[in-house]
Amino acid sequence: MSAAGAGREPGRAAPRRAARHPVRLPDGAVVLAVETSCDDTSAAVVAGREVRSSVVSSQDELHARFGGVVPEVASRRHTELVAAVVAEALARAGAGFADLDAVAVTQGPGLIGALLVGLATAKAVACRHRLPLVPVHHLQGHAAASYALGVEAPFLCLVASGGHTLLVAVREGVDYRVVAATLDDAAGEAFDKGARLLGLGYPGGRELDALAARGDPGFARFPRAARRLRGFSFSGLKTALLYDLRGRAPDEVERHRADLAASYQAAIVEQLVERTLAAAAEEGLSRVAVGGGVAANRGLRETLAARCRAAGLDLFLPPPSLCTDNAAMVGLAAAFLPALPWPEYLGLDAFASDAEVRPRRRAR
Ligand code: KG4
Ligand code: ZN
């Protein structure tokens, strides 16, 4: 056990002490991470860059009948699952609470009720075992996933999820500068809306990806966002698919559903890949990483791999399980962030959007 977790005795009354400043965890600190920002209940045990366990309990089936995530249903399900998911993460890592040096948790952004379940759980574990707590920004988590693959900063990271699409230049740890962001929809949203138009089930991105694998990406040509745009734009694409489908007879749509999915996906992928390569060149960065649920997309992974190889860039592609929401990425980010000493985190609140609070920067 390292210094951060030493000297605690569960159950004893808290001694009076002066407020201490946040500290950086020691190298290789064993962290229990919790992530409940949307509809996946997840816990992981991470030591430095080593993911010892990662458990994700998906709520997909629960929300499928509503065609999307119902926030209140998600929070209630998190409440039911979180203790078992934490226990499973510890068991798979062969660890007990006594082996932990810290607890990390997604503080925001996300669904506020869902976040609060994870935060309350993390506080309870940390407080009971007198451990420090590391609040993590969800996007810093996505950007940190590639540390499990050994990436070294500085690097460029494409973060593409259901709520965000941005390119960030990671300077050090999880301290980043936003290089480009979406001007309208997120890439995941474009996948989900396209999937709905194509009559696919929920969650849409994964279904569209699977269908596209059997289709011809050259079947229909959907608009590409203007090259001069620095950011991403996907809303026109979704409208183009809507009009394309309206212009075809139902049996033609039926016959060419996979071709339409492949063509639509190709348009999203091309924009993501082009912008990423252009930003790497502009920023002078030779390492490229990805994160977020859309980074699980097969078309994106293949195209990005080929284009990075051709451009001589080192690409870090975390496995899909580290791209879609998971607690391991939160534990990986925690190594670079300030840890609040016990019990100074008890008043900590979750935040639903960045308008409420800015991402935390590296520890002093
Ligand atoms: O990062 P994530 O799991 O949650 C958020 O932070 O939003 O991303 C979820 C998004 C959804 O829009 C989902 O449809 C999309 O990622 N997604 C995919 C794939 N897997 C998940 N999109 C395209 N292809 C996939 N294989
Ligand atoms: Zn996410």
The average pLDDT across 269-293 equals: 97
pLDDT-derived band at 203 (thresholds 50, 70, 90) equals: confident
The verdict on the CB of residue 36 being under 6 Å from ligand 1 is no
Calpha distance 324→330 (Å, rounded): 12
Q: Do 208 and 194 meet the contact criterion of CB atoms below 8 Å apart?
A: yes
pLDDT in tens, 227-269: 767 799 999 999 999 999 999 999 999 999 999 999 999 999 9
Sign of CA dihedral 177, 266, 295, 290: negative
Taking the CA of residue 40 as reference, the ligand 1 atom at the shortest distance is 3
Percentage of the residues of the chain whose pLDDT score is greater than 90: 83
Task: Say how far apart CA 132 and CA 102 lie, in whole Å.
Answer: 5
Best residue among 37, 182, 189, 191 to mutate for probing ligand 1, ranked by most atoms within 8 Å of CB: 191
pLDDT at 3: 36
Structure tokens at 348: 């900590």
CA distance 87 to 194: 38
Kindly state the average pLDDT of the residues 346-363.
Answer: 74
The number of the ligand nearest the C-alpha atom of 189 reads 1
pLDDT at 60: 82
Do you find a cis peptide bond into 15, omega within 30 degrees of 0? no
Q: Residue 163 CA: which ligand is closest?
A: 1
pLDDT band for 357, please (50, 70, 90 cuts).
Answer: low
pLDDT at 346 over 60: yes
Question: Pairing relation of β-strands 133-137 and 102-108?
Answer: parallel
Question: Running DSSP on this structure, what letter comes out for residue 70?
Answer: -
Distance from the alpha carbon of residue 329 to the mean position of ligand 2, in angstroms:
10
Comparing 18 with 302, which gets the higher pLDDT? 302
> Taking a C-beta distance cutoff of 8 angstroms, is the pair 362, 172 a contact?
yes
Q: Which two tokens stand for residue 297?
A: 């997309």
296 pocket-lining for ligand 1 (C-beta < 6 Å):
yes
Q: What pLDDT is stored for residue 2 in this prediction?
A: 38
Q: Is 221 helix (H, G, I), strand (E, B) or coil?
A: coil
CA–CA dist 143, 166 (Å, integer): 10
Its pTM stands at 0.91
Question: Which residues make up the environment of ion ligand 2, defined by Cβ < 5 Å?
Answer: 161, 325
126 within 8 A of 119, measured Cβ to Cβ: no
Distance from the alpha carbon of residue 274 to the mean position of ligand 2, in angstroms: 22
Q: 139 near 119, Cβ under 8 Å?
A: no
The ligand 1 atom at the shortest distance from the C-alpha of residue 138 is 6
Counting Cα atoms < 13 Å in the Cβ hemisphere of 219 gives 21
Per residue in 20-59, pLDDT (tens digit) is 788 899 999 999 999 999 999 999 999 999 999 999 998 8
Q: If pLDDT is split at 50, 70 and 90, which confidence band does 12 have?
A: very low
- 149 alpha carbon to ligand 1 midpoint, in Å? 20
Residue nearest to atom 23 of ligand 1 (CA): 205
